[in-house]
A and B are shown apart, each in its own frame.
Chain A
Amino acid sequence: MRDMLEKIKRRSTFIDKVNPITKISTGLLMFILVVLMHDPNQLFYLSVLMMAVLIILSGVRLKYLAIVLMLFLVFGAFSAMYMVLYGAGATTLFRFGLIHITEESLVRGVHVMMRGLTLSFFGSLVIFTTRLTDVFYSLMIQLGLKPKFAYSFMAAIRMVPIIAGEYMMLRQTRKVRKPLIHKRHVSGLKGFITTVITLLSQSIRRAYRLGVAMEAKQFDDGPRSYYYETRFTPYDILFLVMMLVIVFTSFVTGSTFSLIGVTDAR
């Protein structure tokens, strides 16, 4: 995971040094804020500013960033579709059978899409600037998460590539034995269950073995010292101030320079 992150990183920024707890709590606050925002103008500026922060401060190569942004926009557009096509409203723009596009539903659809985008931009900023190990160490040290949960998560995440590899192997085996096995074991419901069972049973076996070994090595609860130390630093304050400024700016610009006349998407 870390290698992959280093491959796409161009430079490191101060956000790398912010404590993961700060970033995750800010993420939860952002979620609440975005759900409570009903003015599409303000939300538009917030999403644009978050995109700018992602581009400038994530430190990821622009090539990868472009792909990520494209995906977000495409998925966002898809998720806005049902509201645009079926939402209720008074001013009709287009009507075809069950599809009924109104001005209100269009605004609302775009609003829901911008909500998703704002959260996605912030979310990928966190992902691109945080090492997974630090998240769990920080949860243990700063928030007192029980070590058995933290170490289980860290160990399990290392198994994901093995699971993926196993799946690829399974696919290749099936390709080789295609003439010998019945088609229903490969595709459809039966095929799905067969695949899941193979992956699950192997993973449970591996997890059990690893679990016994880790319990023997006392990766359990109890007083312990930590290999990595995480702490709160002035960078956390800087990060919080930056987020406050962004939110404040979007509120002010949203109410001063309105792009559309609608101030409430409801």
Chain B
Amino acid sequence: MERKRGLTLTDVLITVVIGLVFAVIYSIWGAVYTVLQPLGLHLNELVYGMWFIAAVVAVLILRKPGVAILAEFAAGAGETIVTLQFDAFLMVYALLQGLAVEIVFAFTKYESTRMMTAVWAGIAAALITLPLDWFYGYLAEVAAWNIILMFTLRIISGALIAGVLAHLIYQALRETGVLKFVGSRNMKHHEGL
């Protein structure tokens, strides 16, 4: 089989499936986030990073352009299907967060699988929705210390969950040997099926 540049149908399918596995986790996570919300002090922001993890894991696995956006979009779309509400808001967020991860990995030409790259991607994803949150949630009207706290916690969460945890998942996944099916590195592994 000749290897095409860009995404093949198999690549797209694998990416979307990774996105949908995380979509289920995202939906459960929504409840965790909501329950933490009234506690105040933005403790719920500490779990926010989970929502970028699909993009980071998928791009670490496949390392091709477009994977991060696609995975995050699939996860967001899947979440709206699982929770039975079509949410344009969520789709926009998912696309933006995927884009942020995409940009960070594009800087390394999709070659880096180091943990730091994942951490930077998580931080970028945490930052990219700041303007939208600002406008939608009237954050300009919330006390300043509160906003700074909120975004500090969100960035920490992005670095820890979408960065470190995503990389741990990638490492463990590599050990299972399933990644030989994936991507363009080695194409002589059909026997594994």
Contact = CB atoms under 8 A, between A and B. Distances in A.
Interface of A: 1, 24, 27-28, 30-31, 35, 68, 72, 75, 78-79, 81-83, 85-89, 98-99, 104-105, 108, 111-112, 115, 119-120, 122-124, 126-127, 132, 148-149, 151-153, 155-157, 159-160, 163-164, 167, 189, 193, 196-197, 199-201, 203-212, 214-215, 219-220, 265-266
Given A108-B138, A203-B18, A196 B34 contact: no
A155 B13 contact: yes
Contacts of A200: 18, 21, 57, 169, 173, 178
Interface string B32-49: 001101101110000000
Q: Which interface residue of B23, B24, B87, B137 has the most chain A CB atoms within 10 A?
A: B87
Chain B, interface SS category: helix
Contacts, number: 185
Interface residues of B toward A: which range?
A: 35 or more
Given A27-B86, A160-B24, 13 more contacts: A79-B37, A85-B38, A119-B89, A122-B86, A127-B81, A148-B9, A156-B13, A159-B17, A201-B176, A204-B61, A208-B13, A211-B9, A219-B9
Q: Which interface residue of A98, A149, A151 has the most chain B CB atoms within 10 A?
A: A149
B182 A204 contact: yes
A88 B38 contact: no
A82 B23 CA distance: 26
Given A156-B13, A160-B24, A196-B21, A201 B37 contact: no
Interface in B158-192: 165, 168-169, 172-173, 176, 178-179, 181-182, 190
A201 B77 CA distance: 21
Contact of A201 (B10, B138, B142, B178): B178
